[in-house]
Amino acid sequence: MNNNPYISSIGDFVDNSPAYKLIYTSMRELLPNRKNWFGFILCLCVGAVLAYIVGCAENTVALAAQTCEILLGVQLPIFACIFVVYLILLAFLGDSYIKKLLNIDYGNGSNYFKTSTRYFESVLFIYFVAIILSLILKLFLSCMPYDYILTQSDLTNSIMAVALLLIYYTFSLRVIYELKSTIYNTVLLVRANSAYKMLSFVEENKNSEGKIKYDNDSD
């Protein structure tokens, strides 16, 4: 077994897994657990209220199209910002700091650098799926007449509309709520980088003071 963190990490970063596998893995970030149960329940409750209001309205198609356009308008700029942050972090992290992150054990045979980069990649794929879903739904709703109905039963139409909209709203809101974790992880990386630089400053200061003391003793 190779205990070198650099050699063992190379295989993780040259992984050529198909996109659908990466998307499938990324969706796990949205599954409810003890750490994000509040966000899931909150998004589910808000999604249920929105789905009920829109699904039981007389102009369901028009309202669904408007809410879909709003969500799409939110998801697109967030995706762009996360993508830019991801590129900036990778571009400006120093070699010595990356080396330090590779040596921090994060459990399950992973390190902090791998976990952080994989998280940002997962979030990018999650937003990609959300944007595609909103775009497809927006296109379908734009092609439907506002008085379109699936069956002759108003109750059946409302139940089907509420059920479908509940899934869409809950997923879209949960994706947007994930921004909280993205900001948190970004802040941790920036703070850790700042702390690591401060430690290097302390070491430089100690070395400088030691050199001055040695020069004084020599004189």
**pLDDT given for residue 20 in this prediction:** 81
Distances (CA, A) of 151 to 106, 134, 148, 158, 161: 53, 24, 9, 10, 11
Instruction: Work out the average pLDDT over 150-168.
Output: 90
Amino acid letter, 78: I
Nearest CA to 168 out of 68, 66, 25 is that of 68
Over residues 28-51, the pLDDT tens digits come to 888 888 888 899 999 999 999 999
pLDDT tens readout for residues 175-189: 999 999 899 988 888
Domain ranges of the chain: 19-187
Q: How far is CA 72 from CA 25, 52, 211, 213, in A?
A: 23, 20, 60, 63
pLDDT band at 5 (very low <50, low <70, confident <90, very high): low
Alpha carbon distance 130, 136 (integer Å) = 10
Q: How confident is the model at residue 1 (pLDDT cuts 50, 70, 90)?
A: very low
Q: What is the mean pLDDT of the chain?
A: 82
For residue 137, pLDDT beyond 90: yes
Q: Is pLDDT at 212 greater than 60 in this prediction?
A: no
Which pLDDT belongs to residue 153? Answer: 85
Highest average pLDDT, of 41-50, 86-95, 147-156, comes from 41-50
Q: What is the dihedral of CA 79, 81, 83, 89, to 10 degrees?
A: -150
- Please give the residue that has the higher pLDDT: either 3 or 135: 135
